[in-house]
Chain A
Amino acid sequence: MNSKGNIFNIQHFSIYDGPGVRTTVFFKGCNLRCKWCHNPESISPKNQIEFYSDRCIGCGACFKACPNGVHVLDDKQMHMINRAKCIGCLACADVCFANAITAVGKYVDADYVFASIMEDYLYYSNSKGGVTFSGGECMLQIEFLYEILKRCREKGIHTAVDTAGNVPWSSFERILPLTDLFLYDIKAADPALHKLLTGAENVRILNNLERLSASGKQILVRIPFVPECNDGQIPGIAGILKSLNISRVEVMPYHKLGDNKYTALGMDNELKAVEVPTEAMMDRAVEILVSEGLNAVKT
């Protein structure tokens, strides 16, 4: 079996997505709409284009290649992209050699991904590292994920699945025997606020976390800490986590490294004006979690 999936990045020598040196495979498509998302290119399950106008050399190749008239000039003769018409065929990106238009997402087969993973096989054994599947929500492409996990298991490679947990429990059951570690995102304790911030309620997410905890699998919870959004949620999250089997909690500060991607994708960035949290805010969040007996750190 060599199924295909949509991947938008493979990051080798990654050291922040689980133990040791890892390869992180980013799956495209997510069913949450977190306002702070720093990987906005991961949200849509379809292929997309990013446009970096500063790299454009004005060759016009994209205009000719596009079957749908997506590329137009505005009244100031500036290159504009009519995204409503874009079908994600990537014909424009294919002819943009200046990399002003770049493709986000590529349908690749499991052989391709696994070959890329195996490039760094020795690094895993020398660092007690492995592979992390992230996204987007990697569990939305569960059969593709299953197939790669299975190959990793056959080679004895440590595996981690980075998930927001908003998938049916059956998806967890599918990959449970093949996964060594879950990196589990918790964004808010309050269901209404969770829906406001992410577009979805957290009932299923928390139920899945509870069941995962009961399964005995190693879980590392990650909390994005976003001022003006979920910074008041730490006590509530701590209350949920303290009764569960969580090996470690990482509080991750909101950052603005994804800002230019919003522009390149033609997407609105609702949190553009929000500042990154201070060290004191981060320390306080960790303190609260630690006070509930959790092994918490900031990253």
Chain B
Amino acid sequence: MLQTDRVILSQLYSQRVNGLREDKLKINEFKRKEIGHQDFDDWGFVHYPDFKFEARPNHPSGLVYGYVAIGEHLRRFFNEIPKYINKNSALAGAWIGPLQNFVRMGIIPEDQPSDLKEVWAKYNTFPGFGGMNHCAGDIEIGLKLGWGGLLDKIRHFREFNSPADTSFYDGEELVVLGMQEWTGALALEAERMAQEESDPDTRKNLLEIAEINQWLVNNPPRTLREACQFIAHFQTLDRTYFAGGAMDQLDEVLRPYYEKDMEAGILTDEQAVWYVASLFFNDTHYSQIAGLTPDGSRDMTSRMSFIILDAMHYLRIPANIALRVHDDVNPQLLRRSLEYMLEDGTGVSYSCNIGCEQGYAKNGYPLQLARMRAKVGCNWTAIPGREYPLQDVTRCNLGFAFHYAMEDIRCGEPSLEALFERFCHHTKIIVDSIKSGYDRHYEVIGRNTPELVYNLFMHGPVERGLNCSEGGVDILNFNIDGVGMATVADSFAAIEQRVVKEGRITWQELFDVLDKNYEGAENIRLMLKNISRLGCPGSEAQKWADRIRNHYVWCCKHEGTPKYNLPIIPGMFSHGNIGELGAKLPATPNGRKAGEAISHSNEPDPGFAAGIDSFSPSLKANAVAALQPGYGNSSPLHLDIDTDMLGKAGGIDALISLIHTHNQMGGTLINLNCLTGKKLLEAHEDPSRHPDLVVRVTGYSAFFASLSKEYRQQVVDRFLSSRK
């Protein structure tokens, strides 16, 4: 019988977890003042403004590149950075910012795809070339071997394979040596701090940290706490190198340690909560809990899944845990996650098994493999340790495809079908250019910026001596994300309604007002904006969105990359980049002015509901589910729920229904915030009033106060439109 009750913390552990949160808020405030706003996950780095590090470029351009040079820099970096240990934590270490803040690493000029850059600039496209991380390691490889075992493995296969060029192994060796030295240094630092510590509980904790880290220099972890410490070191390394953030199926990874420790009588649930909270304090890596086993016979929910939720709840700082939803997911786990959501305002995200798994299987992979694809990125999934699925590094800007289509038709006899034909033409140009960039990426990424960290935690790279992007792992695919669906679909629908059907303005008048950025034509702008927009039941915009999605998916899927026929999987995800993606885009016929943000992913715009159908979360969810690209890569749904509305009886049941329904309709990911309008608006006005307010921005959660005003506005707009 699965134990599902909430863990109640005693005074000691409550103080420690609360202390971590308070320290986090102080660290955060310091970062905000020193660095300014950051529109990403609230990474767990500790800022040391005076830290200096010498870069030793190995290319005339001033770049550091290649296995050995980067490996040497990583090793030296970990030897030189401050040895941070928080006395309230069960674990040692923190990263201090990405290595590229101190060292220019990247792809050398002669390997750059200069022939493609013009196209990417023209369409304001994020090409994905040179993208790093966005794959996931199988952390169990590290947990079984430890740093010592990983070093032995590297040395064994270097000798066994005897490659002509040993730089792959030499670089990986340098990374592992650096981590061993880092771990050993933390042990010494903990011991030093213990000697100076007067509080007996804290001294004991520091001595335990010292002992654990001393063991982990060469040996694999034996206990839950040691496993968490090893994972924390992995997080620190992973974030340092190009800000990697993918973890694993965390409940299943930790479950054997938890069960073994409990059986041995050396662990209590509250200690487990503290260890996991300390891990979340260390960093906000992305992990999944629950979901089906590969054979689909069992839900993976365990006691560890509940403990992970408790740790998030007690810590109440950003954490990036996803709960994989399926029809038979443990109902108590789902309910608990929502209870915490309503209490804390934020919590887990919900990864949907039908859209993710059945969609992925449509690429030709077995469904059993698809079930192993865990949500380990802000919007994306990967099979830990077995797949290189480069995701979330591209943005195919549909807004620009539409803009150039409008330019194409203005000289002839404009028509909607001509416009759509040209839109398809330009969309294909963008997608094809990204594909060509991926061919180049595939050729050069390993010799420039290899996946030095993930290679260690994957099945194949060390065994074969190959970077995971080029044969190190067996499963290789590349993602392209479309963005700005509503901007384009609403533009088509506005033209159809106002120009073609109603004849309220002519095509020429439309071109004129767009050229003038609607100056002196506010009423025309509002006329074009106030149509039945994407998200309204039965809207023309919905029909256009279907056509756009179908064409976009076809562009991605009908053939692989031109040179190597690498498989492409389409997604639709904008992260928070909608401001940047719209900044150079001229005015569009959906009433959007030049430079304004474009629409998120495939979501209806805020305020889409009009007429007799008023806004509801289900209308938005239905539109997002209906417009999924359909091959397993995510197109997330963002919902900001007013706690005043759902905090009453029946609210959680309604959310459970919403989550299951979105899953059954083929959605892939749900990001929820449960907020009160009062608190959100106060924090927007003056972020310092609510420094502890945590929100889910897109796929990731962050302190609201740390976000730039533009990103805060995105969250506020979404929330306000949901209350109309």
Contact = CB atoms under 8 A, between A and B. Distances in A.
Interface string A31-70: 0000000000000000000000000010101000000000
A214 interface: no
Interface in A161-184: none
A251 interface: no
Interface in A1-53: 7-16, 20-21
A119 interface: yes
A13 B658 contact: yes
Given A8-B612, A119-B537, A13 B622 contact: no
A20 B661 contact: no
A80 interface: no
A129 interface: yes
Contacts of A112: 538
B513 interface: no
Interface of chain A: mostly helix, strand, loop or mixed = mixed
Interface in B610-631: 611-614, 616-619, 622
A108 to B, nearest CB: 7
A77 interface: no
A8 B612 CA distance: 6
Given A119-B537, A122-B664, A129-B657, A7 B612 contact: yes
Contacts of A61: 523
Given A12-B618, A122-B665, A127 B653 contact: yes
Contacts of B618: 12-13, 21, 119-120, 123
B35 interface: no
Interface residues of B, number: 30
B325 to A, nearest CB: 12
A98 interface: yes
Contact of A122 (B616, B646, B651, B661): B661
Given A21-B657, A57-B526, A99-B530, A119 B612 contact: no
Contact of B529 (A9, A16, A21, A97): A97
A225 to B, nearest CB: 17
Contacts of B654: 13, 15, 20-21, 127
Interface in A106-130: 106, 108, 112, 115-116, 119-120, 122-123, 126-127, 129
Interface string B632-670: 000000000000001010110110111011001100000
Given A7-B612, A10-B613, A119-B618, A15 B665 contact: no
B51 to A, nearest CB: 50
Nearest to B623: A119
B653 A20 contact: yes
A253 to B, nearest CB: 12
Contacts of A119: 537, 618-619, 622
Contacts of A106: 611-612
Interface string B586-629: 00000000000000000000000001111011110010000000
Contact of A123 (B530, B613, B646, B657): B657
Nearest to B664: A122
Contacts of B653: 20, 127
Contacts of B617: 13
B522 interface: yes
A59 B521 CA distance: 10
B523 A10 contact: no
B220 to A, nearest CB: 44
B326 to A, nearest CB: 13
Given A10-B612, A115-B537, A116-B613, A123 B523 contact: no
Contacts of B619: 12-13, 119
A57 B616 CA distance: 28
Interface in A126-184: 126-127, 129
B527 interface: yes
B657 A20 contact: yes
Contacts of A57: 522-523, 526
A126 B523 contact: no
Contact of A12 (B526, B616, B646, B664): B616
Contacts of A299: 648
B530 A126 contact: no
Nearest to A11: B614
Interface in B273-296: none
B620 to A, nearest CB: 9
Contacts of A21: 618, 654, 657-658
A42 B666 CA distance: 37
B627 to A, nearest CB: 14
A119 B648 CA distance: 25
Interface of B: 522-523, 526-527, 529-530, 537-538, 611-614, 616-619, 622, 646, 648, 650-651, 653-654, 656-658, 660-661, 664-665
Given A119-B622, A127-B654, 8 more contacts: A9-B612, A9-B614, A57-B522, A99-B526, A115-B538, A126-B661, A127-B656, A299-B648
Interface of A: 7-16, 20-21, 57, 59, 61, 97-99, 106, 108, 112, 115-116, 119-120, 122-123, 126-127, 129, 299
30 contacts: A9-B614, A11-B614, A12-B613, A12-B614, A12-B616, A12-B618, A13-B618, A13-B654, A13-B658, A14-B616, A15-B646, A20-B654, A21-B657, A21-B658, A57-B526, A61-B523, A97-B527, A97-B530, A106-B611, A106-B612, A119-B618, A123-B657, A123-B658, A123-B661, A126-B660, A126-B661, A127-B653, A127-B654, A127-B657, A299-B648
5 A-B pairs with least C-beta separation = A127-B657, A97-B526, A12-B616, A13-B616, A97-B527
